[in-house]
């Protein structure tokens, strides 16, 4: 038996659901890349990305996925042998750090637990001990998509300032931009990066980097620079320089449509929508957790991301549940990654997502828990509905 036929639900943390208008924006002939509307579109996209990152700094668009955005960010500000501090709160800062190591940086990991946010006091203590200022950059993710942790970037900046340390603050916003507040300039972030395919509702293939004045100054002498990623070249007068080659024009049409949607909704309204859907999801998981098998990976509610919830499954293989929701209901959940394989599933509530999509996903999970006779507290979906009904009055 299966009730899977119908609209398939992709509830994984990237790529996320692409709105129909964004898909349709790509259904058009190729256009000239030297003159005309595409040139103006590039300028408008770069300007609108500043609004999304909340910066007066520079923005860059790369034909790349998030990993390309990581390399773009690193190569423009680091020099070989630079000492870099990666703040651990899950898989992704470590992955970014491994990339920096391959590129020739010396990596130090500030150890952290995967169910906790980075502790700003630990950052301050480590930096205060670095009297000679060997550490050139600090790498952190705002939301770690593997653990479901959200880090307090403003508090990390205050910790850096309290230690009077000059290191650049570099932030991965791939799983948070468009989903929760990010204030590049107000929080003193020097380099931020993101990708098109998560909160920004566009197919994978574009990476975005934003740089502040301190990062642009360091860039001048950074020796990891390579031609493709180089900010200086991309600031040149010719349109093709902005992409170091042919612009990925259909992805740009798509991203244009997605940013139009996001700006029409309002960035703050989108953040608020994500918060309400996250709270509803958390209400469901809290109810299910009473059965002692499911549990939040992130114990402190204040450290749980607004875009992704990581649910631990104790004593049984989580694949039983994720296979059930996929095969029987047409709902694809995120699997546990980075050591959580078989021990967790992840519910994405990120990007183009509304109440019925989240409630439908939660409903399929609860159906699976019942059908598989996995012990769980009842009423998770009801708790989610109550949470939304209270937050969204008539």
Ligand X SMILES: *Cc1c(COP(=O)(O)O)cnc(C)c1O
Q: Does 66 bind ligand X (CB under 6 A)?
A: yes
Q: Which stretch binds ligand X (CB under 6 A): 60-68, 157-165, 333-341, 355-363?
A: 60-68
**Least distance in angstroms from the C-beta of 152 to ligand X:** 16
Tell me, residue by residue from 272 to 301, as one string, x for binding to ligand X by CB under 6 A and - for no binding.
------------------------------
Binding ligand X by CB under 6 A: which of 104, 188, 204, 342? Answer: 204
Name the residue whose CB lies closest to ligand X: 66
Query: Nearest approach, Cβ of 327 to ligand X (angstroms)?
Result: 25
How many CB atoms lie under 10 A from the CB of residue 161?
Answer: 13
Q: Does 65 bind ligand X (CB under 6 A)?
A: yes
Q: Which of 57, 195, 203, 360 binds ligand X (CB under 6 A)?
A: 195
**Window 80-99: residues binding ligand X (CB under 6 A):** 92
Give CA–CA dist 185/159, Å, rounded: 16
Tell me the DSSP string of 358-383: HHHHHHHHHHHHHHTT----S-HHHH
CB 46 within 8 A of CB 186: no
Distance of CA 240 to the CA centre of its chain: 28
Q: Which of residues 65 and 309 has its CB atom nearest to ligand X in the complex?
A: 65
Helix, strand, coil tally for the chain in percent (to 5): 45, 15, 40
The residue within the footprint of ligand X, chosen from 14, 148, 199, 377 (CB under 6 A), is 14
The span of 61-69, 104-112, 249-257, 282-290 binding ligand X (CB under 6 A) equals 61-69
**Minimum Å distance from CB 73 to ligand X?**
11
Whether 48 contacts 259, CB under 8 Å: yes
Residues 268 and 255 sit within 8 Å (Cβ to Cβ) = no
Would you tell me the crossing angle of helices 355-371 and 267-288 to the nearest 10 degrees?
Answer: 20
Q: Which strand ranges, in their side-by-side order, compose the sheet holding 294-296? A: 9-11, 331-335, 344-348, 308-313, 294-296
Residue 181 near ligand X by CB under 6 A: no
Binding site for ligand X (CB under 6 A): 14, 65-67, 92, 141, 145, 172, 174-175, 195, 204
């Amino acid at each position: 038996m299966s009730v899977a036929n119908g609209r398939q639900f992709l509830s994984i943390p990237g790529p996320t659901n692409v709105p129909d208008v964004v898909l349709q924006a790509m259904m058009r002939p190729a256009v000239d890349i030297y003159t005309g509307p595409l040139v103006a579109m590039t300028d408008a996209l770069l300007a609108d990305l500043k609004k999304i990152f909340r910066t007066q700094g520079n923005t860059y668009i790369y034909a790349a996925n998030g990993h390309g955005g990581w390399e773009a960010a690193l190569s423009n500000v680091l020099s070989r042998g630079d000492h870099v501090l990666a703040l651990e709160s899950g898989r992704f800062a470590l992955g970014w750090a491994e990339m920096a190591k391959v590129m020739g940086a010396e990596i130090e990991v500030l150890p952290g637990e995967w169910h906790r946010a980075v502790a700003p006091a630990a950052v301050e203590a480590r930096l205060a001990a670095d009297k000679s200022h060997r550490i050139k950059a600090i790498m952190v993710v705002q939301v770690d998509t593997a653990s479901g942790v959200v880090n307090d970037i403003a508090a990390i900046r205050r910790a850096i300032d309290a230690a009077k340390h000059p290191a650049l603050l570099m932030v991965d916003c791939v799983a948070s931009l468009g989903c929760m507040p990010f204030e590049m300039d107000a929080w003193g972030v020097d380099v931020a990066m993101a990708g098109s395919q998560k909160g920004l509702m566009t197919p994978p293939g574009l990476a975005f980097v934003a740089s502040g004045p301190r990062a642009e100054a360091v860039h001048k002498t950074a020796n990891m620079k390579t031609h493709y990623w180089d900010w200086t070249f991309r600031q040149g007068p010719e349109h093709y320089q902005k992409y170091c080659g042919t612009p990925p024009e259909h992805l740009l049409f798509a991203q244009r449509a997605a940013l139009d949607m996001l700006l029409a909704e309002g960035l703050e309204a989108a953040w608020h929508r994500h918060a309400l859907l996250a709270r509803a999801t958390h209400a469901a998981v809290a109810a299910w957790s009473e059965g002692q098998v499911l549990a939040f990976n992130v114990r402190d509610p204040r450290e749980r991301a607004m875009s992704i919830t990581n649910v631990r499954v104790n004593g049984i293989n989580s694949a039983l549940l994720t296979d059930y929701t996929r095969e029987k209901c047409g709902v694809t959940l995120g699997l546990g990654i980075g050591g959580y394989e078989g021990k967790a599933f992840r519910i994405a509530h990120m990007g183009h997502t509304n109440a019925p999509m989240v409630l439908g996903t939660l409903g399929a999970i609860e159906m699976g828990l019942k059908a598989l006779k996995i012990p769980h507290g009842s009423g998770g979906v009801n708790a989610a509905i109550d949470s939304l009904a209270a937050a969204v009055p008539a």
